[in-house]
Amino acid sequence: MHWLYLLIALILMTVMFVMPMPGWLAIVLLLASLGFGLAWILGWLSTRISSGARNDAQILSPEDLRLMREQAAARKLAAQSPGEPDDSV
């Protein structure tokens, strides 16, 4: 969709330079072209940023994190022999 903004901006610039028109109309076309150019840049940046974003379904809940911590603590406790001192402090 954002590529349409670029196309419209280029068409407006072409019309401004090719067609004979009063100065105020050329300024209006120039400002419209700049607006559509800015909309294209913002749309392009939005697409680039959202393509690198993670899916919300991949984010762990606090409950999942708590379970993972408990499992890691249980594994650490099981791996420690009863005679060894605890060096996690």
Q: pLDDT (tens digit, 9 = 90+) per residue, 3-28?
A: 999 999 999 999 999 999 999 999 99
37 assigned to some structural domain: yes
29 assigned to some structural domain: yes
60 assigned to some structural domain: no
40 assigned to some structural domain: yes
20 assigned to some structural domain: yes
13 assigned to some structural domain: yes
Single pTM value for the model = 0.59
Which structural domain, as residue segments, surrounds residue 42? Answer: 1-51
23 assigned to some structural domain: yes
pLDDT score recorded for residue 45: 94
83 assigned to some structural domain: no
What digits encode the pLDDT tens for the residues 25-68? 999 999 999 999 999 999 999 999 888 777 767 778 889 889 99
Question: Number of folded domains in the chain?
Answer: 1
What average pLDDT score do residues 59-82 get?
88
Q: Report how far residue 23's alpha carbon sits from residue 82's, in angstroms, rounded to the nearest whole number.
A: 89
